[in-house]
Structure 1
Amino acid sequence: MLSIPIKPFLVASALIVSMSSAYAQDNLVNSLKINASEKSKESFKFTDVVNIENTSIKNQGSSGTCWSYSANSFLESEMIRMGKKPVELSQIFSARNAYIEKGRNYVRMHGAVSLGDGGAFHDVINMYKKYGAVPQSVYTGLNYGTDKNKFAEMAAIGEGVLKAVVSNPNGELTPNWEKAYTAVIDSYLGQAPKSFQYNGKTYTPETFAKEVVGINADDYVEISSLQEHPYYTKFTLMVPDNWSFDQVYNVKMNELTDIIDNALKNGYSVAWAGDVSEKSFSWKNGVAFVPEKKVEDMTADEKADLFNGPKKEAVVTEEMRQKAFDNYTTTDDHGMHIVGISKDQNGKEYYIVKNSWGQSNDYKGYLYMSKEFAKYKATAIMLHKKAVPTAIAKKLGV
């Protein structure tokens, strides 16, 4: 679900071609640098209403692994909520295992499915359930001389191997293709540890997940909202990075923010997947909202002032949301971690969002997203099922 492609033609270009998402992170951040105002931080006065404890800001580097960084950050906050000492979990351990599974899926589907380093929140949960977890200190994924992720070369070689396999040059697949593909991944990221030492005790990834992390993978649900599907049922979210064809629950659009609000006010954080390529999303200024007037219709002065203090917002409708999903103006660009609620000087509430692009913006790695933006541009959210409001949970059967 979550890579970081660039408009236009967001869905296909950075998701289907594996090496593209390795470039897309840098390209998107660079493109968002133009979405900034000179005096934004001094023009907004944010006051926290809810601020859930979370771990330090990370940097995913040149990789399409936002889904793994945000979902693992979410799990770290879950550990804190459960009264555990948080451990920085290896984001690349989750990604490495997902890449192996994705390669198997790609071959099984004769190449007719998404490939690349993008993914979805449920990939982290699924890999946690199948493979366990390890601390980031045990498995950094930096096995090729860099201090940050840089995946383009690995992705290109891996794609070449898999394309050669599905072309079936021998007329029958051998059992060795998976060894060859895994060897490419492990050459760059390192072999996954079978056991390791942590705080003086030996663990396997499975025992570490059970004894230290202590999270039940079955406790988490993904939720979206699309008019084209019956509400309060499950459907397969048709985005390229949903390579495993997992299903999400469908709710009404305004219930997305009802669910997020209920979670945050009860001590649960939320993983948010959605579109951040809008001109009303400024990474530099750390603000995202839905302006009342379309940006393309604004004067030069209005554009320059876009992020200098609170502005009136459009009221988003379900029809707007569905149309944006249908016409590719809402795509699965990015995944982030919602950790709180804050109010501006006019009393309007925004979500406090933790990103994985380092600390290069006005709020040192965090941003403030309006509720209209959150429900308009979300492709899916993930949270603990007990964080869903009782009335909605009953309709969903969770």
Structure 2
Amino acid sequence: MNILTEEQLNFVISEICEAKTLEESTAQYNLYEPILPDCKFVFASHNGASPGFSVNRTFSAGAVVRSLFKTPKVWVLDRETVQEMKTGPSTFRIDYSISLDTMALSYLEPYLQGKHSQIPTDFKEVFQFISRKDVWIDPLAYCAENIKNLKNLEHSNKIYNKLKAYETLRTLDTNLLESQGIVQSTLTEDELTKAAQEHIARMYMSLDDSRVLDDANRLHQLSYCYLLKMVIIQFSDPKLSLHKKIWKLLEFSDEQAGVIAAREFAIAKEYFSKGQKLKFFGKIQKNKSDIFEKLDGMAWDLTHARRMELTLTVKPDAGARYFFPALLTFDKAFIEILDLYPLKVCAYVEGRHNPMPFYDGDWFELISENLTEKSEIMDRFYSAEAITNRAEQRKSAKLSDLISDLEAELKPFMALH
């Protein structure tokens, strides 16, 4: 039976996460632990547990691995770990995986075919890293983005070929690679085909699993809504002050979306300040007919970042206490966006896939330029009444309807053919 109401639980978790130091957070956790459900806290830290290879890494030509945190280690708090630390160091197994995004997986296929001129200069370096036996990779980001394309035969064939390339990498003959530089799977062609067919079959099964599709669509639709609204605000009056643009987006969050998506506000602040000079929005221009298509792809990028938060809450394999996700990408515009919002800590209740991420810094100072603006935002949008109203708004908000309204609002700025 829960001792705390949902509101009280959120308050306690915030108290622990927003403490000034790890020592203070740990002390707060020990204070509240008897009344907490099975909560877990993962803090960015220079000391503590190693999350495997799910740490930030930059390759020579700019490809990166990015985790949720900017530190090489993490400090975790949970009932079992804290109890063990009372008598000495806590030792436990972890699980991790690095997801290859759509661009990374697209480069893999020509590399395996020897078409090295079509890929970035540092792909060999990346390839050598991800083909190591102690580095775990997955194609989940690519699969989530492309489930919707399976019903199209031409697209499904391309997906199959990319998954076959992934299976080749997963079963690479590393001895042959090291001794002769030959890229070849340890599986026979028939075994490789079978593995790829089984993988795409699992994707087809996901088409019939409404929960899987709903989770992916919900994250994507929310990011797409925010991107549409950002562009509407910027196109409508690019010379409007930064504070007024942020205020308009806050009103949209409060009155229509029903949620203030903190990560998207960090992006909005950069976009409202730099416009098209922010590479992520470089191709979003007035009088173009492909804005919706471009924003849809950008929304999938943001969805992959949010999926890392969600994946952190997934129960790992038996025997492991935590699962740590990361993302590998070559997209320099997306990398710039990922680096805008490192986390200080992500908290969750075991069994609930509801991450509570906290920005590594003062979020209110991030989106405001002075104390007056910060105070105005807190008074208007973070009062008890405003928070309650947003919770009610979320229950009735239909993102698909909101998307239709926003697209209609943006259309006058686009070229019509």
The question of a shared fold, defined as TM-score above 0.5 by the shorter chain, is answered with no
Instruction: Determine which structure has the larger helix proportion and give its number.
Output: 2
- Which has more radius of gyration? 2
TM-score, length of structure 1 as denominator length = 0.31
TM-score, length of structure 2 as denominator length = 0.30
Higher relative contact order (CA 8 A, sep 6+): 1
